[in-house]
Amino acid sequence: MILFNENIVALLNEYFSKNEEYVESIQLASYGFNIQFVGFNVQCNERVLASIGGEQYEWEDAPNSGPWGALGRQLAKKATLKTSSLLSIVFESGDSIDIETAESQYESVLFNFPPQGESIVMEIF
C-alpha cells in the first residue's frame, strides 16, 4: 500500500496522550503480528522489530522464540517515524517496537480504531 506519514504519528500520539494505552495482548502467527492496545489494534504483515530488556528481536512471517509476551501491560508513551517505512512506538519502560510497512499492492499494516458513529475507522499502510 503506502508508506507511513506524520498523520498516523499524530493520531497515535493523540491516543497515547489522552488515554493509558497499555498492550493488552500480542498475537503471533505465520501470517501476521497483532498488537491489541486498550483502545485500538495494530495488525502487522511485514517485519516487527523490538527492543525488549535491552535485547533486539525480530518477527518476520513466522512465530519465533522472542519474549514478545514481555510487552504485555506495557504503557505506550510515544510514536515516531524512524523512516517513511518504519514507525516506532516507545513504552514507559524504555522498550520499543518498530513496525515496518512497504509500498506494494497488499496491506502491510492496519490500524483498527474504535468506530465513530456507524463508521469503521481504519488507517491502512
Note the pLDDT tens digit of each residue in 20-37.
Answer: 999 999 999 888 999 999
pLDDT of residue 68: 95
* Residues 6 or more apart in contact with residue 41 via CB below 8 angstroms: 34, 35, 111, 112
pLDDT of residue 29: 86
pLDDT of residue 4: 97
* Residue 1 counted as domain residue: no
Q: pLDDT tens, position by position, for the chain (125 residues)?
A: 799 999 999 999 999 999 999 999 999 988 899 999 999 999 999 999 999 999 999 999 777 889 999 999 999 999 999 999 999 999 999 999 999 999 999 999 999 999 989 888 999 99
pLDDT of residue 57: 95
**Phi/psi at 53 (5° precision):** 60, 30
* Residue 108 counted as domain residue: yes
Looking at the structure of the chain, the number of domains it has is: 1
DSSP 66: S
What is the distance between the alpha carbons of residues 108 and 53, in angstroms, rounded to a whole number?
A: 27
**Within 13 Å, how many C-alpha atoms sit on residue 54's CB side?**
0
Is residue 11 classed as helix, strand or coil in its secondary structure? helix
pLDDT of residue 33: 95
What is the distance between the alpha carbons of residues 10 and 79, in angstroms, rounded to a whole number?
A: 8
Q: Provide the β-strand partners of residue 71.
A: none
Q: Which structural domain range is residue 14 located in?
A: 6-124
pLDDT of residue 30: 80
